[in-house]
A and B are shown apart, each in its own frame.
Chain A
Amino acid sequence: MEYFEIMMGEALEETAYRDILVVAWLEKGEPVPATLEALGKARELADSLGAYVKAVTFAAGEEEARKLTGYGADYVYILQGPALSQYDLEIYAKALGEFIQEHKPEIVLFPAIAPARELAPYLAQKLGAGLIANCTEISLDEATRTVIGAHPMYGGEYFRLLANPGLKPQIVTLLPGYFRPAYYDAYRTGEVQTISVEPVPSRVKTKGPVDFTVPKGLDKAKVVVSVGRGVKGQEEMELVKKLAQALNAELAGSRGAVDEGLIGPDRQVGMSGHQIEPKLYVACGISGAIQHYYGIRNARCIVAINPDPTAPIFKVADLGLVGEVKDIIPAVLKELGTR
């Protein structure tokens, strides 16, 4: 192989970039779920390309970083130094940039979690590289060893496929929740190496948590979970609230729910209340009279849960589930929790 590359002359430079690098985040001694998704994808890409999976992490203990080998990394590198114990964009980017320049990975995968959403584009610019951010799907053009990433356009109205064939490394961030996580195999082994990083001054200081909430309105909510007369009592209302929390949704209700005292009049959806256009509207125990439908006619997707199969809401729902709120919601919460 090496001899062949030398024969190829110019190709040598090109193929000097190899292996798949995952920038891994650990929390409380365990890789965060989004990291496992990146490792799962990395393993798949590496097997198709005949490459190794390398994982790099910041300021982790050797034993906890070793777990990454069980999740499929052939090599694990711990960037270690006093300046790395807390996330700092410029310091992390410098350490990671130097690592990448030395190791020359062909593909770099980041989980698209909070620090990486800033770190990945910053680093890409420093390296003069391309970046496909927030991918929901990744495929490979094996012939040209090019990664093709699909990312949402206009909040997921459709998806665009992008590739960065010319610039190395090919950097991609993976939206959490879209990829199969790597599984743990205690028998899998790999090398773990610690690399010490020289301290550099920080220009950003995180001073600590503050008490702050974002005023979120019903009108701008992306996901709304809504209740109607079919929700019986506070106990069932608590279930709906849990569902709203699990879906990161705002709560709303029909006129009936307001009359029953399940929800305040400021949260009423319908002709005499708010007219909303969320991406997802989950109607729990709402029959769906035309006055109510008027308020949600621009919702991109409507899901209805109702025991009465003849309820009008089922005619407009993209998915209707026939059943009692008290039976279905706990099962949904369980299903959402077990991914």
Chain B
Amino acid sequence: MRVIVPIKQIRDPRGVKADPRRQQVTLEEAELVINPTDRNALEEALVLKDKLGAKVTVISIGGPEVEDSIREAWACGADEGILLSDELLAKADFRGAALALAKAIQKLGDFDLIIAGAMAADTCQGQLGPRLAAALDIPCVNDVYRILEVSGGKARVIRGWDEKFLEVEVELPAVLCIAPGANVPRLPHGARIMNSYQWEMPVWKASDLGLSEEDLRPGVEERGLSFPPERVRGRVSRGSPEDLARELVSFLRERHLI
């Protein structure tokens, strides 16, 4: 049984602080980490390795710095890791990234499951898992909280939608997108951290995947950033309960807190 886990390296969300006054955000100071929900996905894959002897392959797209994240996943227990890296891949948008991962997965051969994080904490888009399923023409179940059973060419899982939990059975191969916080991911083994730098990581370019510049041409354009209102402490309001309630609710809405 082969399980593939696509991971994304992002800036540690806890270290990212926007400065609304200067209308800017500095990302470079935050540490580079594996997207937290991708760690939940890796954990689910490693549980399948423990229980069923699944072979776990981690794939990521990015520059040479992403190697560290793949080695960290290996130190957690993954069996192999592949980095997709070149200039064309660096410019790819959501569509191109899904296409590249799909081609790489096809190149690896047969697989049973792709277990992905449901959302990256940086962009909050949640596009990759479903897009990958579409590119490979396989079914997808998102917002998965638990994998109950994998057997007989099927997986039984629990999907959570709006606080309602449903048992879902899906034919394999399939993509499962794991919900944030679905489990407590394990930490890397001390000895494996040292050893993780001893194996050579395959690095595939767009051309290795049979993809041209045209295939990966990005369609999405960034048109700037915007910032929530600046934090001012010590604002105190008095009035009728109704007025205060109205003020509170609009305050929360302005800051996208509800």
Contacts and interface: CB of A to CB of B under 8 A. Distances in A.
A319 B257 contact: no
Interface stretch (B65-73, B90-98, B192-200): B90-98
Interface stretch (B51-59, B78-86, B165-173): B165-173
Interface stretch (A3-11, A35-43, A118-126, A264-272): A118-126
B13 interface: yes
Contacts of A211: 165
Nearest to B172: A203
Interface residues of A, number: 87
A300 to B, nearest CB: 8
Contacts of B235: 317-320
B127 interface: yes
Contact of A159 (B127, B128, B225, B231): B225
Interface stretch (A188-196, A229-237, A255-263, A330-338): A330-338
B244 A212 contact: no
B245 A334 contact: yes
Contact of B95 (A124, A178, A204): A124
Given A118-B140, A162-B223, A163-B221, A205 B134 contact: no
A103 to B, nearest CB: 20
B171 A204 contact: yes
A130 B95 contact: yes
Interface in B140-165: 140-143, 145-146, 156, 158, 160-162, 164-165
Interface residues of B, number: 86
B127 A121 contact: yes
Interface stretch (B105-113, B118-126, B204-212): B118-126
Interface string B1-44: 00000000001011011101000010000000000000000000
B226 A161 contact: yes
A90 B175 CA distance: 12
Contacts of B191: none
A198 B257 CA distance: 43
B190 interface: no
A129 B220 CA distance: 9
Interface in B220-251: 220-228, 231-238, 241-242, 244-249, 251
B8 to A, nearest CB: 13
Given A128-B95, A210-B165, A315-B233, A156 B122 contact: no
B175 to A, nearest CB: 9
Interface stretch (A53-61, A71-79, A145-153): A145-153
B170 A203 contact: yes
A114 B238 contact: no
Nearest to A159: B226
Nearest to B141: A204
Given A167-B219, A331-B242, A151 B225 contact: no
Contacts of B141: 89, 204
Contacts of B14: 277
Contact of B245 (A119, A209, A279, A328): A328
B189 interface: no
A331 B244 contact: yes
Q: Find the residue from A152, A220, A331 having the highest chain B CB count within 10 A.
A: A331
A187 interface: no
B249 A124 contact: no
A207 to B, nearest CB: 4
**Shortest Cβ-Cβ A-B pairs, 10 listed:** A331-B245, A125-B134, A122-B130, A167-B219, A331-B241, A114-B161, A212-B165, A121-B127, A125-B131, A158-B18
30 contacts: A89-B133, A93-B134, A115-B161, A122-B133, A122-B140, A126-B134, A129-B219, A131-B94, A132-B220, A154-B16, A154-B122, A158-B225, A160-B123, A161-B222, A161-B225, A161-B226, A164-B221, A177-B253, A205-B169, A205-B170, A214-B145, A247-B258, A314-B234, A315-B233, A318-B232, A318-B235, A328-B241, A334-B245, A335-B246, A335-B248
